Amino acid sequence: MPEGGSGTFSQNQWTKARAGLILVAMEPPALAWDRVVKRYGAVAAVDGVSLAVASGSFVALVGTSGSGKSTLLKMANRLIDPDEGRVLLDGRDVTGEPAPTLRRRIGYVFQHIGLFPHLDVARNIAIGPRVAGRPTPDIHRLLDLVELPRELAGRMPAELSGGQRQRVGIARALAQDTKLLLMDEAFGALDPVTRDALGRRLRALHDELALTTILVTHDMAEALLLATRVVVMRAGRIVADETPAALMAGGGGDAAQALVAVPRAQAEQLAAMAHR
Ligand SMILES: Nc1ncnc2c1ncn2[C@@H]1O[C@H](COP(=O)(O)OP(=O)(O)OP(=O)(O)O)[C@@H](O)[C@H]1O
Condensed to tens digits (0 to 9), the pLDDT of residues 216-248 reads 998 899 999 999 999 999 999 999 999 999 999
CATH number where 94 lies: 3.40.50.300
Residue at 9 is within a domain = no
Assess if residue 16 is contained within a domain.
Answer: no
For residue 71, give the ligand 1 atom closest to its CA.
18
The β-bridge relationship of strands 180-184 and 212-216 is parallel
What amino acid occupies position 87? V
What's the 47 CA to ligand 1 centre distance in angstroms? Answer: 12
| Ligand 1 atom 31, closest CA | 66
> Quick check: is 245 in a domain?
yes
Q: How far is the CA of 71 from the centre of ligand 1 (A)?
A: 6
Residue 18 lies in a domain: no
The single-letter DSSP state of residue 97 is S
**DSSP label at 17?**
H
CA of 70 to the centre of ligand 1 (A): 7
Asked if residue 125 belongs to a domain, the reply is no
| Amino acid 17: pLDDT | 59
254: pLDDT strictly greater than 50: yes
Cα 106 to averaged position of ligand 1 atoms, centre (Å)? 22
Closest ligand 1 atom, CA of 218? 25
| Residue 148 placed within a domain | no
Structural domain of residue 60, as residue ranges? 28-105+178-270
Q: What is the DSSP letter of 148?
A: -
Residues with CB under 6 A from ligand 1: 40, 43, 45, 63, 65-71, 218
What's the complex ipTM?
0.96
Q: Which of 81-85, 164-168, 184-188, 252-256 has the highest mean pLDDT?
A: 81-85
Mutate to test the pocket of ligand 1, among 40, 110, 222, 239 (most ligand atoms within 8 A of CB): 40
Select the more confidently predicted residue: 192 or 247: 247
Report the atom number in ligand 1 closest to the C-alpha of 236.
14
Give the Cα separation of 139 and 223 in Å (integer): 30
| Domain membership flag for residue 155 | no
- The answer as to whether 198 is a domain residue is yes
Give the SS3 label for residue 32: strand
Atom of ligand 1 nearest to the CA of 70: 22
Per-residue pLDDT tens for 28-55? 999 999 999 999 999 999 999 999 999 9
Collapsing DSSP to helix, strand or coil, 210 comes out as coil
Distance (angstroms) between ligand 1 centre and the Cα of 250 equals 28
Tell me how many domains the chain contains: 1
- CA–CA separation, 116 vs 124, rounded Å? 6
**Rounded-to-integer distance, Cα 175 and Cα 171, Å:** 6
Q: Is 271 left (phi over 0), alpha (psi -120 to 50) or beta?
A: alpha
For atom 29 of ligand 1, the residue with the nearest CA is 66
Question: How far apart (Å, rounded) are the C-alpha atoms in residues 84 and 46?
Answer: 10
256 C-alpha vs ligand 1 centroid, how far in Å?
20
- Residue 2's pLDDT band (cuts 50, 70, 90): very low
